[in-house]
Amino acid sequence: MKNIFKVKLLIAIISISFLGRKSWAFPEMRFLEGSGCISCHFSPTGGGILKPLGRKSALSQLSTWGSDGEQSSSFGYFKSMEHLNWLAVGGDFRLIKVQKEMPPEKISKVFIAQRDFEIGILFGRFELIGAYSGPEYPSGTRRNWILYNLGSDWRIRVGKFQAPFGINTAHHFLATRDALDFGIQSEHPGIEISKLALLNEFYFSAFKDDGKMESSQTLQWNTNENNSLQLGLGFQRKSNLIVQQDLVGAHFISGEFNNHIFWGEIDLSQYKDLSTDKTFQGAFEVLQFKYWLHQGLSLIVFQDSALKKIYSSSQQRYSLGLGVEWNPRPHWQLEGIFQEIQDLSFGPEAQNRAILELHFYL
């Protein structure tokens, strides 16, 4: 039994240590300007380097305090740099403190979870983005791509990035998204075609990773209603020499920015063992409610569950979390989370996890 606890401790350390090494999006932001992630970020699916509108929103809407110019990548000290319209500079640094109790074991750890430096070069309809993410990535970067704006809301992107599917947030990662293979180092070489209109968003992406002998195709469609509701459907097929996985997901985002946001997602998966033709099923769901106490300060409640059926056995997991998020000034974010987890595959006892995160973005 003690070895089982040690395994759970190891899983906790690995999953949380990679928590920051991704570019998260904030689903509530699409209601701020009403025109999707691409309005504030260079990436069509959000996260990473900010555009001028994103920096303006970070000052005027996201932060409790701030002064004019503070939102820029140079903090307003280098005015000449801010007029270089062909160059964009960004980055993310995350420091995490985690406390986890799984009787009779306890863990307490402080570590650097992210140290990204990102540069974008813009010329005409082209955008070239590259990020240095540290030595743990074989090439030093987890994502780099070139995007071409075809006009009429159509775009094509080629490079290394993550497939657009469902809602991409840190809380979803902690809950179920990592179990759906959208977690650690899930960026792959591929191509994406997207149409990003005001009321509808459509993505098709195809990836092939020769190193892992793996390929995937993903479709994602979102519709936006009245600037306060988004509905989305997604499908992905991923296969290698051993397993084929089909994944179907649906999500919603509802609410009003700087007041309250409620979002949720449900995903159904089927794994097929290509050597035996046997199939295994999984069902995952996550819900989150976010309420703003004051500009830049919000209370978060989230819940998730997962069920996997493999052969004659099943694995079940449930959790409930409570957190506080604070953006005191542009570039800075603080978040504290307490989560109670019950993983029935390890036993009936509950696990408690507390996470404190400091996020600095350039």
| pLDDT, tens digit (0-9, with 9 covering 90-100), for 55-83 | 888 898 889 999 988 888 878 777 666 67
- Compute the average pLDDT of residues 158-163: 91
In 3-state terms, what secondary structure has residue 275? coil
Answer yes or no: is pLDDT of 11 > 50: no
**Residues of the chain above pLDDT 90, percent:** 37
**Confidence band, pLDDT 50/70/90 cuts, at residue 112:** confident
What pLDDT does residue 1 have?
A: 45
What pLDDT does residue 131 have?
A: 86
What pLDDT does residue 252 have?
A: 94
What pLDDT does residue 92 have?
A: 87
- Cα dihedral 342/297/325/350 (nearest 10): -20
**Residues of the chain above pLDDT 70, percent:** 81
Contact criterion met (CB below 8 Å) for 55 and 331: no
From the options 1.20.1300.10, 1.10.10.10, 2.40.160.10, 2.60.120.680, give the CATH code of 2-35+93-114+161-361: 2.40.160.10
Answer yes or no: is pLDDT of 90 > 80: yes
What pLDDT does residue 332 have?
A: 95
Answer yes or no: is pLDDT of 105 > 60: yes
Higher pLDDT, 71 or 155: 155
Q: What is the mean pLDDT of the chain?
A: 83
Tokens coding 109: 């750890």
Q: How far apart are CA 10 and CA 81, in angstroms?
A: 44
- Compute the average pLDDT of residues 252-279: 89
Higher pLDDT, 12 or 199: 199
Residue 257: closest CA among 292, 293, 302: 292
Answer yes or no: is pLDDT of 137 > 70: no
Q: How far apart are CA 66 and CA 58, in angstroms?
A: 9
Give the angle 124-125-126 at the CA atoms, nearest 5°.
95
104 upstream amide cis, omega within 30 of 0? yes
- Compute the average pLDDT of residues 140-167: 90
Q: What are phi and psi of 261, to 5 degrees?
A: -140, 135
Residue 99: closest CA among 361, 350, 343, 337: 337
- Compute the average pLDDT of residues 159-182: 74
Q: Which of 176-180, 243-247, 299-303, 338-342 has the lowest mean pLDDT?
A: 176-180
Q: Which of 74-88, 245-259, 315-329 has the lowest mean pLDDT?
A: 74-88
Q: How far apart are CA 118 and CA 130, in angstroms?
A: 6
Contact criterion met (CB below 8 Å) for 153 and 132: no
What pLDDT does residue 14 have?
A: 41
> Following DSSP, what letter does each residue of 177-235 receive, concatenated?
GGGGT-STT--EEEEEEEEE-SSEEEEEEEEEETTTTEEEEEEEEEEEETTTEEEEEEE
Q: How far apart are CA 114 and CA 105, in angstroms?
A: 27
Contact criterion met (CB below 8 Å) for 189 and 287: no
**Confidence band, pLDDT 50/70/90 cuts, at residue 205:** very high
- Helix/strand/coil percent split, the chain, to 5: 15, 55, 30
- Compute the average pLDDT of residues 169-192: 72
Q: How far apart are CA 25 and CA 168, in angstroms?
A: 6
Answer yes or no: is pLDDT of 136 > 80: no
Tokens coding 219: 């479709």
**Confidence band, pLDDT 50/70/90 cuts, at residue 25:** low
Contact criterion met (CB below 8 Å) for 247 and 268: yes
Answer yes or no: is pLDDT of 200 > 70: yes
Q: Which of 22-36, 126-140, 146-160 has the lowest mean pLDDT?
A: 22-36
Answer yes or no: is pLDDT of 54 > 80: yes
What pLDDT does residue 147 have?
A: 96
- Compute the average pLDDT of residues 335-352: 82
Answer yes or no: is pLDDT of 253 > 80: yes
| pLDDT, tens digit (0-9, with 9 covering 90-100), for 229-251 | 999 999 999 998 888 999 999 99
Sequence ranges of the domains in the chain: 2-35+93-114+161-361
- Compute the average pLDDT of residues 129-149: 80
Tokens coding 315: 């694995």
